[in-house]
Chain A
């Protein structure tokens, strides 16, 4: 791959150029800000061109190609420590690059229509490009420090983009929340880096992966655990997942970018990258798997109770990320990356589809206001929707395809990746800590059922039944005529993503499916592709067991869909939810309250911290620190007030001073 690695810096730098162009020109000129189509095109191209480059590299590269590195310049040099701005091209980083730039470019293109007319249009696209730049640094870095730069970069950009409509206090609070929860994880990540450096003496992945044997068992556990804490922050796992559902406060295309393709996958990426390290400690793997499985089910149960369509999707993202962590913890790195890829397709499609719905509902509210009707409703609340499939045909079809994909119904993309995770978890149940893994497998199975259920609850609630807005809000009578499909730039992207959700799964067909009929088979492209980069656990299950598991997951998914149809088919979701709530009692209440996690953090951490800051630190700040600073200032002021009487403005008095000084100096020279 050495012949092509020189293309890699361009992949990273072109989005940066897009950011700089839009950012600087937008800052400098009021005129430029209004040229929306130009801004959008530049910005989309700044992501699309890297995608073309990555695709070219992908064609040129084989599954067994050696990894290659390119160093642009030495970044930091201090003592024994030295770090380059260097990029690494291998199968894993290229796969992530393809997903980030591919899905990213589609989301940019979609945003051209979605953000039209927003006064911060140029700023939005500049931030989006910066986000892609940071993310590409993260996935292509050849050392941990540069990875960390990208890691912090996506954190910053998520803050900027989630809080994009910063005049709304709730939205800027959500941005702050995302930023701070990520910081908690980052500190652990930093400590892990120090510990790695202490043992290896270098932060390059090449050296780390070659030197994993140098770590003691305890060190492996500790380092892996600290990186895991960092990953729980970025990838929204227990206990740090609460920021992600709030992060949907940003524009919908931002949610699609963050939730589907980029930032939240970085935790999975980094653990896959360090898979040889993780595989050394079965305990560590178990911790990863447990966190993943519990996040998956906790988020899935919360998603059951939400009405805000973006909230359902956000919790669904958390839940799917939990699946990916479960795969990581089961030693199925390929399965985890597989789910990253397929999830990027269908979750981006779902988020952008919800954006299209919100767009339409916003339009209704806007038109009603123009007609002088005071109709207030939340355009993201599915209780006001229903029956939209007639008005938004493209959105409906693509949304449905993506829903089927995420629910895990064959042969769409989500089925293959989720099935592989379930198989690999069961497979891990054959090894050390087997009983626990079997338990986690059961949890995952329940979650898969819930996923199918809540996703169809959402789709049915939005698109089936009849349009409920006119009954709920009396002023909105006849509002259904105001509904309209989104422009071509938006629906075309939905169709591309829906297409990818259909065919995306075929890159990772399990080998045993074909092997049953032909004897042997080697059809799992993704597994062949990532073979050199990640260290996977061996699959030891027999074909019969695998077939049973596969049928099991199909049955579970179909059961989820069936139950959802029975409950929500043509009926109103609210009354159905009330029936479920009375049946489940306190349990439903806990789900509805989101396990009170936000309240617990608020009570146990935030409020005590604020109180200590108020009572002790603020006093310390004002009295001691400010006092010292003011004291220094007033000493200087006092000295100045004495000395200024020497400044008479009379030349002769100064001349006296000079002459006396000269005499003094001469005397010292003569009589020393």
Chain B
């Protein structure tokens, strides 16, 4: 049986990679994937705590977050495609539509 600490460590590493990816990458799709990575690292934490405590709630929560993530991915990809059609780029530093 692997210790809980290992799971949490892996989750923290994955989350940090996701955060750094979101902050530094320029391609919107890559940023999107990094965000998925963050979500899944949290899912991992939930599942491991769930197993450790013998409580099913954490796993139920994972189902929810997976569903929401799937929906978000569908909407997000649609937005990215729409932006690409208008600007011919998905470089996030060149898209500043929400400026003052």
Contact = CB atoms under 8 A, between A and B. Distances in A.
Interface of A: 644, 647-652, 655-656, 659
B100 A652 contact: no
20 contacts: A644-B100, A647-B98, A647-B99, A648-B96, A648-B99, A649-B96, A649-B97, A649-B98, A650-B92, A650-B96, A651-B92, A651-B95, A652-B22, A652-B23, A652-B92, A652-B93, A655-B22, A655-B23, A656-B23, A659-B19
Given A652-B93, A659-B23, 10 more contacts: A647-B98, A647-B99, A648-B99, A649-B97, A649-B98, A649-B99, A649-B100, A651-B92, A651-B95, A655-B23
B92 to A, nearest CB: 6
Contacts of A655: 22-23
A55 B2 CA distance: 96
Nearest to B25: A652
A649 B92 CA distance: 10
Contact of B100 (A647, A650, A656, A659): A647
Q: Taking chain A's interface residues, is the majority helix, strand, or loop, or is none over half, making it mixed? A: helix
Contacts of A659: 19, 23
A648 B96 CA distance: 7
Contacts of B22: 652, 655
A217 B95 CA distance: 84
A648 B97 CA distance: 9
Contacts of A644: 100
A650 B19 CA distance: 16
Contacts of B92: 650-652
Contacts of B93: 650, 652
Interface of B: 19, 22-23, 92-93, 95-100
A425 B22 CA distance: 98
A644 B99 CA distance: 9
Contacts of A656: 23
Contacts of B97: 649
A665 to B, nearest CB: 15
A649 B100 CA distance: 7
A345 B99 CA distance: 75
Nearest to B22: A655
A659 B93 CA distance: 18
A356 to B, nearest CB: 70
Nearest to B94: A650
A488 to B, nearest CB: 72
B7 to A, nearest CB: 20
A664 to B, nearest CB: 15
Contacts of A649: 96-100
Contacts of B96: 648-650
B38 to A, nearest CB: 11
Nearest to B20: A659
A660 to B, nearest CB: 10
A651 B76 CA distance: 14
A650 B98 CA distance: 8
A648 B93 CA distance: 10
Contacts of A652: 22-23, 92-93
A652 B92 CA distance: 8
The 7 closest A-B pairs by CB, nearest first: A649-B96, A649-B99, A649-B98, A647-B100, A644-B100, A650-B96, A655-B22
Nearest to B97: A649
A647 B98 CA distance: 8
A659 B23 CA distance: 9
Nearest to A662: B19
A655 B31 CA distance: 11
A657 to B, nearest CB: 11
B27 to A, nearest CB: 12
A647 B96 CA distance: 10
Contacts of B99: 647-649
A16 B87 CA distance: 63
Contacts of B23: 652, 655-656, 659
A561 to B, nearest CB: 86
Contacts of B98: 647, 649
Nearest to B35: A655
B82 to A, nearest CB: 16
A638 to B, nearest CB: 15
A57 B96 CA distance: 77
Nearest to A644: B100
Nearest to A650: B96
Nearest to B28: A651
A642 to B, nearest CB: 12
Contacts of A648: 96, 99
A580 to B, nearest CB: 82
Nearest to B24: A652
A647 B97 CA distance: 11
Nearest to B26: A652
B11 to A, nearest CB: 15
A655 B100 CA distance: 17
Contacts of A647: 98-100
A656 B92 CA distance: 14
A650 to B, nearest CB: 5
A655 B22 CA distance: 8
A648 B98 CA distance: 8
A648 B100 CA distance: 7
Nearest to A645: B100
A655 B18 CA distance: 12
A265 to B, nearest CB: 65
A78 B92 CA distance: 61
A656 B100 CA distance: 19
Nearest to A651: B92
B45 to A, nearest CB: 15
A114 to B, nearest CB: 63
Nearest to B93: A650
Contacts of A650: 92-93, 95-96
A646 to B, nearest CB: 9
Instruction: Name which of A649, A651, A659 has the most chain B CB atoms within 10 A of its CB.
Output: A651
A341 B97 CA distance: 77
B87 to A, nearest CB: 13
A659 B98 CA distance: 20
A652 B98 CA distance: 12
Nearest to A643: B100
A496 B68 CA distance: 81
B29 to A, nearest CB: 13
B26 to A, nearest CB: 8
Contacts of B95: 650-651
A651 B22 CA distance: 10
A265 B92 CA distance: 79
B41 to A, nearest CB: 15
